[in-house]
Amino acid sequence: MPIVSVLAALLAGAVLILISGSNPIRGYAALLRGAFGSPYNITETLVIAVPLTLAGISVAVAFRTGLFNIGAQGQLLVGALAAGWTGAQFPELPGILLLPLTLVSAVLAGGAWGAIAGWLKAARGVNEVITTIMQNYTVVFVMHWLLQNGPMTAPNAAGTPASSPIGAGAILPIIIPNEIVPLSRLHAGVVLAIAAVVVFWFLMWRTSLGYELRAVGLGARAAAQAGIDPRRRMVLVMFIAGGFAGLAGMIQVSGLFHRVFDGFSAGFGFDAIAVALLGKNSPVGITLAAVLFAAFARGGTIMQADAGVSSHLVEVVEATVLLVIAAEAIVRALAVRRGTPAEALA
């Protein structure tokens, strides 16, 4: 189904390109070239895929437990703020201390922010969709204050509001030197993303906690009858989800910008919802979906420059992917309600 979704989306995009008077073959060729046409373009695609993968895992962990985490964007920003503050407060610490400290602070901050929605759901029955959306806006406006005229504002800052630079020890190294790929920005965050995918797989499919989380997602009442406390698991899983998103924010700060800019995130937390859905909440699927969406983002700019096709077409393709996936879910739900045998739904 994910392959069908992507093909249907590309077909819909081709129709729109034809209607606009452009050549879809030329447009998609430019998109592919922009994403994978050179070593530099490949590294740029991977740079975008790293936070998408981590944010996608954040959404998928909650999905597996029956929760809808719309707050990955806010959790990512909280993690970025924590990483930016920690890295700037202790700039003289050596990397062997400062980098782990920055990472842990981002994960804990993102996790704590996510756990708020989990606690409200468990203790008060508040819908996590509403709370996480509200939390996103809260983080955005608090971030405005912190970076414009608050305690994180860089001294003598001009232009875009930003925090002070992080210490050298908190910076993730570039793993492909510029001598090999000129202007390469591919940093060690890709290694952390791969490790996070492995942790996600191990946690969910090789531990008793993962079994309990998936059991709650399949049926909270049945899980409670088996001795699993769904409420505690809801808080814990939102903490875990926020931790993954917070790590994505830390990687953006330590790997690319080396400080926090107001509005620096390109909406990775929102795209992560599509990544998790397209990847079927599986480790490999999320990774492949993240690379695909990163290719769309990177190749879209080249497509507009070389083929004269608007880069907004990429958003249409992504939306079509979501529509096809949503249609599949609706069809399955209706079939289950009508009593269609499980074998027929496979």
User: 156-201: per-residue pLDDT in tens?
Assistant: 766 778 999 999 999 999 999 888 999 999 999 999 999 999 999 9
Q: Please, are residues 70 and 58 in contact by the beta-carbon 8 Å criterion?
A: no
DSSP string, 27-54: HHHHHHHHHHSSHHHHHHHHHHHHHHHH
Q: How many residues does the chain have?
A: 346
pLDDT, tens only, 234-248 = 999 999 999 999 999
Among 299, 291, 314, 320, CA closest to 33: 299
pLDDT recorded at residue 341:
52
CA torsion through residues 107, 110, 114, 116, sign = positive
Is the pLDDT at 32 greater than 50? The verdict is: yes
Is the pLDDT at 307 greater than 50? The verdict is: yes
**How much is the average pLDDT of 104-127?**
96
**How much is the average pLDDT of 294-310?**
84
Query: Can you list the domains of the chain with their CATH numbers?
Result: 50-294 (1.10.3470)
Where residue 343 falls among pLDDT bands split at 50, 70, 90? Answer: very low
Spatial distance between the Cα atoms of 135 and 79, rounded to a whole number of angstroms: 13
Is the pLDDT at 342 greater than 50? The verdict is: no
Q: How is residue 295 written in tokens?
A: 């290719």
Q: Please, are residues 68 and 237 in contact by the beta-carbon 8 Å criterion?
A: no
The SS3 of residue 261 is strand
**How much is the average pLDDT of 145-160?**
83
pLDDT, tens only, 202-238 = 999 999 999 999 999 999 899 999 899 999 999 999 9
Q: What is the DSSP letter of 59?
A: H
pLDDT recorded at residue 333:
67
pLDDT recorded at residue 71:
95
Spatial distance between the Cα atoms of 90 and 104, rounded to a whole number of angstroms: 14
CB atoms near residue 270 (< 10 Å): 15
Alpha helix stretches (DSSP H) within the chain: 2-19, 24-36, 39-64, 72-89, 95-124, 128-148, 189-206, 208-218, 220-225, 230-252, 268-278, 283-307, 313-337, 342-345
Is the pLDDT at 11 greater than 80? The verdict is: yes
